[in-house]
Amino acid sequence: MKYNEEILFIVLFLHKVVQLFRKFGLLTILAVIGLIFVGGFVRASGAGMGCPDWPKCFGMWIPPTSIDQLPVDYQTIFGAKLKGEVEFNVVKTWIEYINRLLGVLVGFFIFLTLIFSYRAYFNSNRSVFHLSFAAFVLVLFEGWLGAKVVSSELLPGLITVHMIVAVLILGILVFAILKTYFLEGFIKELDNTRDIRFLIFIVLLLSIGQLIFGTQIREGIDLAQKSLGYNNRHLWIDSVIGKVNFHALLGLIILVLQFLINSKIKGRFEGMMISSFSTKTLIFIVLSIFTGTILRFFGFPAFAQPLHLTLGVVVLTFQFVLLFLTKPQIAQYGK
């Protein structure tokens, strides 16, 4: 009797750990998406150098709320990083500081995800642990890269790499979490997904390329902002109009391909969760195109920039889910 109670305790304990792994894995995914949104807002508001040093902000762990809290010669102290042009702006400083705090929160969540994956799967299925460990290493690298972005004064190429790493973290976490559901039998076998999986792989690559190309447009906009001034937002788009038009065309190609994918999935797997995810992916692509249209024709409004970026990242996250669910002999039943 005592032996059976011990077995039951172990089973319940492992079940609880698995639940915690999934919870913190999901929280990490949401936090990464939130971090990307805040990062987009940082760029849209011009707050990228709101804190001119790292890891402190104006030499403080908690940034100042007024210029009176800074030394009289603060421009001399921190001006070297910004070529002598540093000027304290409390709004921009705290926007950048919140961005950093959210980055720390992502690191905390991913660390707990790694711990729980070790407790639950290291002795039973190490692939889940290995995926979690890879995500943890990438988060550490992302934090280091963020410091380099600041020290390089927002070097364009580093910003693009920063975004790519964030997308990789999302993909790895999605696969790790879905893997646990597959191991417990919530994801069942299904045939006839090869053609759909091929299309998803193609559209996923195009979406990643679209995201990278979008950062290139953003870099062109940054240059236009410096040359034309912040008050001439309506003129910024003209400096990158060719890239913007190509970006829009690629978005339409992705929409058509996703519509084809959605039609195939609806025709074969109607009523399954994969069908629900496919529909959501299509909806978010449409929303992303809509916000892109606002940017194109309404003078590049600041509110639409982080929203457009975040919607694109959500599309990628759903596409990672679809890629997993269409693995050979894998699909998900139930809504």
CA 254 vs CA 205, 208, 261, 284, 322: distances in Å: 10, 11, 10, 12, 15
| pLDDT for position 190 | 65
Residue with tokens 């000027």: 87
Q: Around 90, how many Cα atoms within 13 Å sit in the side-chain half-sphere? A: 7
pLDDT at 289: 93
Contact 273, 297 (CB under 8 A): no
Answer positive or negative: Cα dihedral of 279, 285, 288, 292: negative
Residues 6 or more apart whose CB falls under 8 angstroms from that of 59 comprise 53, 77, 78
Peptide bond into 63 cis (omega under 30): no
Share of the chain above pLDDT 90, in %: 22
**Segments making up each domain of the chain, as ranges:** 1-184, 187-335
CA distance 182 to 331: 9
Tell me the CA distances in angstroms from 261 to 187, 256, 258, one per residue in order: 20, 9, 5
Task: Read off the pLDDT of residues 163-200 as tens digits, 9 standing for 90 and up.
Answer: 888 889 999 999 998 888 877 666 666 678 889 999 99
Give the H/E segment covering residue 156. Answer: helix 156-183
User: Which structure tokens are listed for 49?
Assistant: 């150098």
The answer on pLDDT for 329 being more than 80 is no
89 or 183, higher pLDDT: 89
CB atoms closer than 10 angstroms to residue 53: 16
The dihedrals phi and psi of 327, each to the nearest 5 degrees, come to -60, 150
* pLDDT at site 284: 95
> In the chain, count of helices (H) and strands (E)?
10, 2
- The chain-wide mean pLDDT, for the chain, equals 81
Q: What is the pLDDT of residues 293-306, one digit of tens each?
A: 998 888 777 778 88
Distance of CA 311 to the CA centre of its chain: 10
Is 233's pLDDT higher than 70? no
Please state, in angstroms and rounded to a whole number, the distance separating the CA atoms of residues 186 and 172.
Answer: 19
Answer whether residue 7 shows pLDDT above 60. no
The pLDDT of residue 332: 47
**Residue range 38-77, pLDDT digits in tens:** 877 787 777 667 787 777 888 888 888 888 888 877 777 7
For the CA atoms of 87, 92, 93, 99, what is the dihedral angle to 10 degrees? -150
pTM of this structure: 0.82
